Every structure is written in structure tokens, then in C-alpha cells.
Structure 1
Amino acid sequence: MAVGAFQASPTNTPAALVPTGDWTVQNVVLVDERVDLLRGLLNSFIVTGGAVAGTLVLGLPAGYALARLRWRGRGALFAAMLAVQMIPFQLLMIPLYIQVAGMYGLGDSYLGMVLPFLVNTTAVFIFRQYFLTVPDSLFEAARIDGAGELRIMLTIAAPLVRPAIATVVLVTFIGPWNEFLWPFLITKDTALQPLAVGLANFITNVATTMPNPNGAILAGALALALPVVVVFAALQRHFRAADLGSGLKG
């Protein structure tokens, strides 16, 4: 994809890693003229950043409460959360659209695009499973010292589950970043549409009429995929076993 994006005449057959032929940036320039890559990337980062922030702010305490606190209805709520994961998001789009655009009036807005992704039940499940692996003695010692639950979560539990946080950030980032149907449904203003929507419209309506359609499509796909690769590369060093027993004596 990266090689074909900068070739003057890429083919449909797999290209060599360093192919011969003319190299050009014209493919990227032509896509940018019709899609505005920088604006699309900015919109995607706003929507995805809002989803990631909401998942961390709301999902981390939810996972901690399901794993470490004792309260009535905890098991039933966890079962309901697992049941929600079995429902395809596409089945919820029409009622969500009626609620978000009709009742809340959030059509053509960043908040309207972010709202359905504000809490990720998969992220809550990951946090819960990681918090369950933290030794109980760490929590008991902190409570004896007078620490509240919020302080225990932020200063003791969260640093020990950094692999879970990295996993959640990556999983949450990929979903909204590549989402097409919901932003396309809720947003008609092209100035607010994420890059995935802009590129889909470009490929459908414009790319096939260009002199080098393969190169244009590959250039657009590269612009959409590159940030995900960068995020994964930045977080990959955190995908390791946590030192959960480092705070224990003996």
C-alpha cells in the first residue's frame, strides 16, 4: 500500500518492495485536493480522542468497581454488560440516530459522533479482568493506611495494569478511527466528517475518474492506516506482563 501510494502507475498485482519505475507524490496531492486530508485527520483525531478519553475516564472506574468493590447487583450488571457485547452495533444505529439527532439535537456535531463510543464495554471487561489479578493485600494495606477507593485506584491499581490501559487505548482507537457508518449517518457537513467518510465518498465518486485510480486509492488508504500504525508502535512496549507482586513482601 505504501509503495503503491507513491508510484506513478501502480498495478493490481502485488508490487515488489522496491519496485522500479517512476516515483511521485502526485497521488497524495490529488487526494488532498478533493478530500482535504489534514481536515479529515483532524476530525478523526477529535472523534477518536473523545472516545478514548471517555473510555478511560468512565471505563477505568467501572472496571475497578466491578472487580474490587462489593455491592448489590454487581453480578447482574456484569452479565448485562456481557450481553450488550453480543448485539451488533449496526442493529442499534437507527434508534441511536433517533435519540442522538432527534431527541438531543446533536446531528452535525462532534459530540453526536462521539456519544455512542463514549463507554466501551470491551474496555470495561479488560479493566475488570486485570484488576482481579492485583493481589488483595495491596488494597487492604492501602485501606489500613486510610486511602480512599479513588486514590487506591489511581495510585496503586492503575499503575499496575498499564498493559490493560495500553490495550484499551489501542482497541478504542481503532474502532472509532475506522468507523464509517455512524459518522456518515449522523453528519452531513463535509467539514465535520472524519477521514474514513471522506475517503469512502472519494473512492465511490471521484477516484475511478482519475488518471491513476489505483495510486489515489492507495494514497488515501495509507493516510487512514498510518496513524493506527504509529499508535500501535508507540504503545507496543507496554504490552508485557505487569509486576503485580512487586509491592508484596517476601
Structure 2
Amino acid sequence: MMQIRVLGPLQVQTANGPVGVGGQASVVLGWLVMHANRPVRIADLAQLLADDGPSDPDQRARAVLRGLAADLPGVLTLEPASARLTADDQVIDAARFATLAADARQHWREGDHERVAEDVERALALWRSDPYPELAHLLDAMPAIEALSRTRLAVLEMQQELAMESGVDFTTVAQLRQLVAAHPDRLGFRLLLARALHLLDRQADALAVLRQAVAELGGHPVSQRLTDLIAHRDPQVASISVIDVDDHPL
């Protein structure tokens, strides 16, 4: 079965083995994968290559597309003015990742945490590094890249919440501090850190984390609720979820 991996450097695996894709071809194919199952104008693909050499970008785009179509028969089809990459969710790792993340969110709402754990593990196993690195220089690619990155953070939050259900220790706090440092704009990690500190009987540290979160990120109803519960040492702290604090439902 064909596999196209974009959660990290572009990789293509066919029934006949791996396909080497680099340079201009990696940019063109990455863009087609990002817009899979939709026609993409060759003029738009040429624009991606406009600053990459003195020759005519339209001719270069067409030459690259012919090579890719030969390597990916039945997957990449060419029309006089457009190209289309046809692939279902099982072919492209980014699509599988997004589906697993959405499934995990749905299973979380249903209270089926065993299935959430399975979805989260499978989703994170697909993630090698930043998605679509070949397209990172293109402003028009940023929304899709950033959406995948935000989805990964939501999955990591679910992973941390699941882990905390089994107990909290100093390793939990260390991991959450690392996540807060790496993603300071993500409120969910800060709230999880405050919860973990509270559960270790470190109320003052937990409240300090929440005060800093409000100062840097602004107020949020969940932040206020958690602050009130921790201040009163209410056992309901353990039941406060951060899912959906930062993002709309997947």
C-alpha cells in the first residue's frame, strides 16, 4: 500500500519501494498532498517555483509533474491546466493523524478513556517532526501547518490528562514544566501543571502558576474555576479538564 508521510520530511513509499523526492519535486508534491483530492492549477504550482531558478517556472512545474506522475501512476493525474493527487486518509499520515485526533476527542466526550489512549498513542506515533518542512517558507502553507501543530498540542494535553488519572509524581511536574516552557502560549499545559502541583500538596506553587497564566495569557473561566478550587483545597480539582480550553473541538 502506498504511504505518503509529511509529518516530518517528505517520504513516499510505494508497493515497489521508496520514491526519492527532493528539491523542486518535494515542494510540488508537498503542495499537492496538502491539497489532496482537489485539482490544483499548474499556474499555482509554477508560482511556488518562480523564485527557484532562471528558467520558465511553468515549464519547470510541468516537467516536475511529469516525473511525479511517472513515479505515482494512478495517484497523480495531470490535465492540461491542473494536477490532482488522489489519496484516501490511510495513504497520507497527516490525514490519519487528524482523524485519530478527532476520534480521541469524541471518545473523550463519551468517557471512553481506553479508546482515547489508543487513539492518542497511534496519533503521536505518526508525528516525526514539524509537518511539511518543504513548504515552511510558503506563507500560504502556514495555516495548514499551524493547524496540524495545534492539533498535536491538543493530543499531548489528552495524553497528559490520561496519565494524571493514574497518579501524579515529580516526573509529571517535570514533563509539564517542559511543555509549558516549549509552548508558553498554551493555557492547557499551565492548567495541567497547576493541577499536578496541587495534587502534590504544593498549593502555593499551583496558585503561582495560575497567577502567571492570567498575567501572560489573560483570564479564562477554567483558570478562575481552578484557582477557586485550589485555594479552597477542593477535591474537585482532579476533575477539571483542560480539553477545549485552547481550541475549538476538532
When normalised by structure 1's length, the TM-score is 0.23
Normalized per residue, the structure richer in strand is 2
Structure with the larger helix share: 1
Q: Higher relative contact order by CA 8 Å / sep ≥ 6: 1 or 2? A: 1
